[in-house]
Amino acid sequence: MTTAGLIAILPLLLLSGTAVGLMLIISIHRSHRIALGLTLLGLAAAFGSLWISAEIVPQRVTSLLMIDQYALFYFGMVIAATIAVVGLAYGYLEQQAVEKEEFYILLLTAALGAAVLAASSHFVSFFLGLEVLSISLYALNAYIYPRKTALEAGIKYLVLAAASAAFLLFGMALIYAAVGTMEFGHMAELMMESAGPNRTLLLPGLAMIITGIAFKLALVPFHMWTPDVYQGAPPPVAAFIATVSKGGMFALLLRYFYRLELHNYGPVVVVFTIIAIASMLGSNLLALLQSNVKRILAYSSIAHMGYALVAFIASGELAVQAVTFYLVAYFVTIIGAFGVVTVLSNSEEDAESLEAYRGLFWRRPALAGVMTAMLLSLTGIPVTAGFIGKFYVVAAGASSSAWALIIILVVSSVIGAFYYLRVIFALYAGAPEDRGAEAAPRMALGSSVLVVLTVLLIWLGVYPAPLLHVIRAALPG
């Protein structure tokens, strides 16, 4: 390990160092505020170190990690989203009768796992990053353990994530047998040779890896765990799973797919096309039957991963730009939506029933306005980040003449608008007569996070040029 390598992985070192430091402090003295402060300090330091690492990238750190502008961009997304989740979680945890400090250790290790995925250039780092992320999420899902739904969410995620990991390992073994290497760069060279790899082993191996990745991204038909886990998990954790967990995996998928030129393999493209269509249509149709806001957002997250796949399948430089911008817009929007759920929740139950939002505008107009903005962005209404994101996805699809996928995206978006409007209608409907004045939970930090997210949502919808410039500069090599 060289000095340059250590500087390149400085964000990862700061994330892991903060988790270890917090663990040591907790063993001496428990304090929720100290845990929050140290966590935010470590995350801010890791975010700031991105500019230090950017001075010397690209750097290959052993054969496991490739730290370049692309990896640093996704590091920034993961760290920024984790900061937002920490801000939302503080007020929520204050109301819960559980030990609070370990929550931040688990969040930090989960963020570390997602960041490792974004920089992976080898099957070993791919699997290690995934497992660090997944094991942390097992505990985070069940963190409010006095609730039976939380334990159920943790167990379901544990069982199904373990099964998906088995698929991934078997797929990696088959690909290793076909090409004789686990390093992405060397794998790409072997695939471009005239003889080519052994397709008898390669295609089944790719199918198994796609199965494992589709589970982590909650794509149809590997989505069954999503509504139950999102409903049972604490709202900040659901926001984290919907964003950081999926963002890290999508970052690896983009690098892996284009580095190995898998878009030239017809069967792989067909599989992703079927999954994208099923995710867009299936999730939106299932969401129509829901009256639980957390489950609605769960099905919405499935649909949005399907939309991102439309640009992903299109391939090319515009595709990577479109997917990355779409993920940024999705991060801001879904964290904001779950943030409103978090702020409205109390010690006994989460604000997940649609009835809990009926007449919210007349009781807490600011929160109703934030939720409305987030739902309009998820729908793809102009002047929001979601609109620009969908515009770029459609443009990427059109550049590759993927008209069938674009038509399905538009149709499924119209279906999705129905259940988003149901929630918006409830926000502005008259409050039930038997519902008295509501004591607002004190979540000043969470409210501040919502303000920042709302400003970002509108800013990216009105003036996306600076972000697009950064994304273009960070395209993977």
More confident call, 439 vs 245: 245
CB 142 within 8 A of CB 155: yes
Residues 6+ apart with CB under 8 A from 439: none
Token pair for 338: 């779950």
Phi, psi of 65 (to 5 degrees): -125, 140
Predicted pLDDT of residue 438: 52
Helices (H), 193-242: 199-217, 225-232, 235-240
Amino acid letter for position 282 = G
Residue 196 pLDDT exceeds 80: no
Residue 316 pLDDT exceeds 80: no
Residue 57 pLDDT exceeds 90: no
Of 3, 90, 2, 4, the C-alpha closest to 43 is: 90
Q: How far apart are CA 456 and CA 446, in angstroms?
A: 15
Q: How far apart are CA 345 and CA 441, in angstroms?
A: 8
The H or E element that residue 61 is part of is strand 59-61
Phi, psi of 67 (to 5 degrees): -95, 110
pLDDT digits (tens, 9 = 90+) for 79-128: 999 999 999 999 899 888 888 989 999 999 999 999 999 999 889 999 99
Residues 6+ apart with CB under 8 A from 466: none
Sign of CA dihedral 113, 114, 119, 120: positive
pLDDT digits (tens, 9 = 90+) for 32-50: 999 999 999 999 999 999 9
Q: How far apart are CA 260 and CA 290, in angstroms?
A: 40
Predicted pLDDT of residue 96: 84
pLDDT digits (tens, 9 = 90+) for 159-168: 988 888 999 9
Predicted pLDDT of residue 437: 46
| DSSP secondary structure, 400-445, as one string | TT-HHHHHHHHHHHHHHHHHHHHHHHHHHSPPPTT--PPPPP--HH
Averaged over 461-471, what is the pLDDT? Answer: 92
Q: How far apart are CA 34 and CA 42, in angstroms?
A: 12
